[in-house]
Amino acid sequence: MAKPVILVVDDLATSFESLVSSISRYDGGRLAREFDYIHLDCFSVLRQWYNRNRSRFVSLIVQDVDFSHIQDEKKLVDYPDILKPLQRTLDIKALQGFLIYGYLRQGNIDRIAPVIFVSCRIGMESTSEFSEFIIRPGYGLCSFVPESAVGDQYYPKIAESIDALAIRPLTDEQRSHWTNEHHLVIGRARKMAFLAYEIERIGPSDATVLLLGGPGVGKELVANALHRCSYRHVENDPGREYPLTVNMAALSPNLVEDELFGHQRGAFTGATGERAGILESARGSTVFLDEIGDIGQDTQVKLLRAMEYHRIKRVGSSREMSIDMRIIAATNRTVPELQTRFRPDFYGRLVQHCIPVPSIRERWENEPGDTVEADIEDLAQFTIRTMNASPRHKRHLGIERTAVKLIRQVVQQHVDGGEDLLEGNIRTLRNIIERAYERAQYDGSAEIGLGHVMPALGMVRLLNAQTPRPAVAGPSQQDQTAVPAAIPTPTTDPFALRNLVGTLNLQDIERRAIKEALEKTGNNQTHAAELLGIHRDTLRRKMAEHEL
């Protein structure tokens, strides 16, 4: 397997050589063995590298700011759209690294790799012009080489920064820890390694955190992990083992403030006694506010005071009280939507620490096929172990390799822009595995096989066709440029779904699943419907559709 990559974007090859030489001496050469180091001398070469190496694990970028030594000025880039408001009189050679960074992030070439800026010869007054765009919701960390790094200390300090900030692929032991401790199947994809890194970085602090992501990506699992990484988590304490959770979208506007802040006796009709709200009830724990994008302006003002000063008033009370809690919030709205819906002061306080939770498509785009398959197998094994532990299941099951291959093919279709079977994200993927598990139990099988997964896929397709779903953009779709869908290529894999069942057309797969269920039950439609996990009337309708 290829080593993770450190990209060094610098107009001078000699600077790159000096950095690599210093890295070879750092900590006995450990950093030199751990990463591949690649020199790129301008933005166009950087972009070409990403286009040709989409599956490489980029751990960090060392970005030279000052390109005053560049020979071919045609290689320089001008201000991207994100920087148009800045004065155009600034020296684009001295600021070239910042401009490259703007294109890198704004163009969605790489939003998560940490960036270390080096060789700034411009004054602080010019550097401050770029502070607004360097840190944005969902962007990776940025750092600067310390001012004390001069002379012989310059390159060693850069090496220290690389060691401290680079994102590493998770080891088997680390992935097992995330699964066992946090019930999160992190896997091997770079965006999930970034997610784990962000949780570990922000979790131990007491900072307010906003989770961005569409439905079903696992935001509540991430909130639980953030809580478990903090001092506020206390094992086996009913009040502090898990965050206290409120689904803001499920509450009517009249109940939101009562749920958050509580009320005094007589505050409104029916308030016959005092009631503590969830912020007061936390008592040292974490409060998870799901779907916070739906709260009104008045609630924003009161919640802002709670976040800033840890003080609240119950509804109907004139007296403030101190509270001890941490807020983790989540929304499936995009950042531009939040900017429109939220007061500027509340928005500014809430988005200081944002963690994007990737969708299935975002998680595995540009990842090698063997990475996708290994991650799906990890998810399947975790789901099966969880279900095997239930006393209502008579047998402990496994899963056939061909069934994993089938699920991987469906996931890959979705990632490549095919049918939207998995718009429900990881929640839907787990649901498919769980339904296949139940069919295997009913069938008396020792393992989940193709015959159990295919009907589960067919059921998801039926539900998607019958349930209208609102279009919800994921957090990283807020200003992405379009990425062309990958073109499916023929495969020689003997376990590929096309080779196993002769088609990737889901209607054909569904027809075969129904036919097999009828054959297995001697054409007993009631039993066949149970085996497929659908209603008998639905089965009859699908039989008519497929002329069975």
Q: Is residue 480 part of a domain?
A: no
Q: Which of 144, 165, 186 is the last residue of a domain?
A: 165
Residues 313 and 260 in one domain: yes
From 270-274, 297-301, 316-320, the region with the lowest mean pLDDT: 270-274
Residues in the chain, total: 548
Tokens encoding 184 = 């999160």
H helices within 389-474, ranges in order?
A: 401-415, 425-443, 450-466
Residues 196 and 153 in one domain: no
Q: Provide the pLDDT for residue 222.
A: 97
Asked if residue 499 has pLDDT above 80, the reply is no
Tokens encoding 317 = 């009370």
Question: What's the CA gap between 461 and 444, in Å, rounded?
Answer: 25
Residues 184 and 320 in one domain: yes
Sorting pLDDT into bands at 50, 70 and 90, what band is 34?
very high
Q: Is residue 154 part of a domain?
A: yes
465 vs 100, residue with greater confidence? 100
Q: Is residue 395 part of a domain?
A: yes
From 38-52, 97-111, 432-446, 496-510, the region with the lowest mean pLDDT: 496-510
Distances (CA, A) of 505 to 102, 463, 486: 42, 17, 18
Q: Determine the average pLDDT of the residues in 61-71.
A: 91
DSSP assignments along 295-309, one per residue: --HHHHHHHHHHHHH
Q: Is residue 475 part of a domain?
A: no
Residues 238 and 130 in one domain: no
Residues 122 and 204 in one domain: no
Pairing of strands 209-212, 398-399: unpaired
Residues 133 and 160: beta-carbon distance below 8 Å:
no
Asked if residue 249 has pLDDT above 60, the reply is yes
Distances (CA, A) of 323 to 280, 313, 373: 6, 10, 47
Residues 318 and 364 in one domain: no
* % the chain with pLDDT above 70: 87
Each residue's pLDDT tens digit, 346-371: 999 998 899 999 999 999 999 999 99
Distances (CA, A) of 206 to 202, 213, 229: 8, 22, 11
**Residue 547: count of CB within 10 angstroms of its CB:** 6
Residues 398 and 527 in one domain: yes
* % the chain with pLDDT above 90: 61
Give the DSSP letter of residue 415. H
> Of 330, 310, 322, 369, nearest to 497 (Cα)?
369
From 79-83, 98-102, 329-333, 437-441, the region with the lowest mean pLDDT: 79-83
Residues 343 and 375 in one domain: no
* Domain hosting residue 366, numbered range: 360-469+491-545
Asked if residue 385 has pLDDT above 90, the reply is yes
Asked if residue 252 has pLDDT above 80, the reply is yes
537 vs 341, residue with greater confidence? 341
Each residue's pLDDT tens digit, 457-466: 988 887 776 5
Q: Which of 309, 331, 356 is the last residue of a domain?
A: 356
Q: Is residue 479 part of a domain?
A: no
Residues 160 and 17 in one domain: yes
Asked if residue 26 has pLDDT above 90, the reply is yes
Cβ-based burial of 50 (10 A; exposed 0-12, middle 13-18, buried ≥19): middle
Q: Is residue 306 part of a domain?
A: yes
CA dihedral in degrees (203, 205, 206, 211; nearest 10)? -40
Segment holding 275, helix H or strand E: strand 275-276
Q: Provide the pLDDT for residue 229.
A: 97
Question: What's the CA gap between 473 and 215, in Å, rounded?
Answer: 10
Residues 356 and 213: beta-carbon distance below 8 Å:
yes
Distances (CA, A) of 37 to 15, 31, 119: 13, 10, 19
The three-state (H, E, C) secondary structure of 20-55, written as one string: HHHHHHHHHHHHHHHCEEEEECCHHHHHHHHHHCCC
CATH code of the domain containing 62: 3.40.50.2300
Asked if residue 207 has pLDDT above 60, the reply is yes
What's at 190, amino acid-wise? R
Convert 414-438 to b/e letters by CB count within 10 Å (16 or more is b): bbeebeebbbbbbebbbbbbebbbb
Residues 185 and 117 in one domain: no
Question: What's the CA gap between 340 and 202, in Å, rounded?
Answer: 26
Domain count, the chain: 3
CATH code of the domain containing 247: 3.40.50.300
Query: What is the three-class DSSP state of 73?
Result: helix
Residues 352 and 284 in one domain: yes
Q: Is residue 461 part of a domain?
A: yes
Q: CB within 8 A of 81, min separation 6: which ones? A: 106
Q: Provide the pLDDT for residue 341.
A: 92
Q: Is residue 121 part of a domain?
A: yes
Q: Which of 132, 150, 165 is the last residue of a domain?
A: 165
Q: Provide the pLDDT for residue 488.
A: 39
> Of 110, 139, 220, 113, nearest to 211 (Cα)?
220
**Residue 298: count of CB within 10 angstroms of its CB:** 11
From 42-56, 81-95, 392-406, 481-495, the region with the lowest mean pLDDT: 481-495
Residues 351 and 322 in one domain: yes
Backbone angles phi, psi at 170, to 5 degrees: -75, 140
